[in-house]
């Protein structure tokens, strides 16, 4: 089983001929390389005490190992959105709670756009929190909330769950299109993948129109920023643009290895 690797802000995307998996960086305790007599070198991961041996198919083994070691051993992220915590809920029940507690009429529990946008853009925040923030911002649906999601999706390499949560928000199909949605589901645990595939579409024409407009504006701003060689652009964002990634695929990108 040869594995193709890609990296985003939250973890390692692993894909092989008949399957895929996602391994969050905070779950990786250690990583090393192992030689093989009959195939490519393998990435050996200690994932929360469990050893996983993954033969490398698509990149220089030292590049893969370096990308993992640069991010492995992160502290387990603390909860920042306790009101929107997943707890033991299944995917769709959890996102329903997020929508209920961030709807405009539910003012006592609704987090501010600034707080949610900050969490969505924070690579150190938990993946669940970032997913809840994306879903909540699109549920709120105001121009500033939608613009924050579009901007972050265009300029950052977000974990699959975050983008799936955005897709399942009202009008989210305008941001995460069908082909990308299908690809991202492969990286979710089987129960989440099945739930996402069977989820009814949260259609909202007004939200979808706002998302499409915000997405085009975010792409335009990003193009200007990168073409100018802006010194404030982070190293990782520059890698996304220069590292062999198809930049016409603005949403759902990962970093090249």
**Boundaries of every domain in the chain:** 4-69, 82-242
Tell me which of 250 and 208 has the higher pLDDT: 208
pLDDT digits (tens, 9 = 90+) for 134-184: 999 999 988 999 999 999 999 999 999 999 999 999 999 999 999 999 999
Global pTM value: 0.89
Q: Which residues contact 239 (CB under 8 A, 6 or more apart)?
A: 255, 256
pLDDT 10s digits, 12-58:
999 999 899 999 999 999 999 998 777 789 999 999 889 999 999 87
Kind of pairing between the strands at 42-47 and 28-34: antiparallel
Split at pLDDT 50, 70, 90, the class of 227 is low
Answer whether residue 226 shows pLDDT above 70: no
Length of the chain: 257
pLDDT in tens, 178-219: 999 999 999 999 999 999 999 988 888 899 999 999 999 999
Q: Could you tell me if 15 and 254 are in contact, meaning their C-beta atoms sit under 8 angstroms apart? A: no
CA distance 79 to 179: 31
Cα-trace Rg, the chain: 18
Q: Which of 22, 199, 8 is nearest to 94 (CA)?
A: 199
Note the pLDDT tens digit of each residue in 65-98.
999 998 887 777 777 888 888 989 999 999 999 9
Query: Cα–Cα distance between 254 and 110 in angstroms, integer?
Result: 31
Model confidence at 246, pLDDT cuts 50, 70, 90, reads low
- Using the predicted structure, report yes or no on whether residue 239 has a pLDDT greater than 70: no
pLDDT for position 238: 47
pLDDT of residue 108 exceeding 70, the answer is no
Residue 244: predicted pLDDT: 44
Q: What is the full DSSP assignment across 115-183?
A: HHHHHHT-TTS-HHHHHHHHHHHHHH--HHHHHHHHHHHHHS---HHHHHHHHTSTTGGGTS-HHHHHH
Structure tokens given for 194: 């099945």
**7: its two tokens:** 């990296």
CA distance 162 to 66: 25
Q: What is the pLDDT at residue 228?
A: 55
For the ranges 100-104, 110-114, 151-155, the one whose mean pLDDT is highest: 151-155
Listed range (59-68, 112-121, 192-201, 238-247) with the worst mean pLDDT: 238-247
Average model confidence (pLDDT) for the chain? 86
Q: How far apart are CA 232 and CA 215, in angstroms?
A: 21
Integer distance in angstroms from the first to the last C-alpha of the chain?
19
CATH topology of domain 4-69: PH-domain like (2.30.29)
**pLDDT reported for residue 182:** 96
């Amino acid at each position: 089983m040869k594995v193709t690797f890609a990296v985003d802000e939250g973890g390692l995307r692993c894909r092989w001929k008949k399957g895929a998996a996602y391994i969050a960086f905070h779950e990786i305790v250690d990583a090393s390389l192992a030689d093989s007599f009959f195939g490519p070198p393998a990435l050996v991961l200690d994932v929360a005490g469990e050893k996983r041996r993954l033969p490398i198919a698509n990149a220089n083994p030292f590049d893969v190992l370096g990308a993992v070691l640069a991010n492995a051993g992160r502290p387990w992220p603390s909860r920042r959105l306790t009101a929107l915590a997943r707890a033991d809920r299944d995917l769709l029940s959890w996102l329903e709670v997020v929508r209920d507690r961030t709807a405009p009429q539910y003012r006592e529990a609704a987090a501010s756009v600034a707080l949610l946008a900050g969490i969505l853009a924070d690579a150190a925040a938990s993946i669940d929190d970032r997913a809840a923030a994306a879903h909540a911002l699109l549920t709120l649906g105001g121009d500033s909330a939608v613009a924050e999601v579009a901007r972050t999706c265009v300029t950052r390499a977000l974990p699959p769950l975050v983008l799936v949560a955005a897709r399942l928000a009202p009008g989210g199909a305008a941001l995460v299109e069908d082909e990308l949605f299908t690809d991202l589901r492969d990286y979710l645990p089987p129960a989440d993948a099945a739930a996402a595939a069977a989820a009814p579409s949260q259609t909202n024409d007004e939200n979808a129109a706002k998302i499409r407009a915000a997405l085009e504006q975010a792409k335009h701003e990003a193009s200007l920023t990168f073409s100018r060689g802006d010194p404030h652009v982070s190293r990782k964002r520059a890698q996304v643009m220069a590292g062999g990634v198809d930049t016409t695929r603005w949403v759902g990108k990962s970093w090249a290895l």
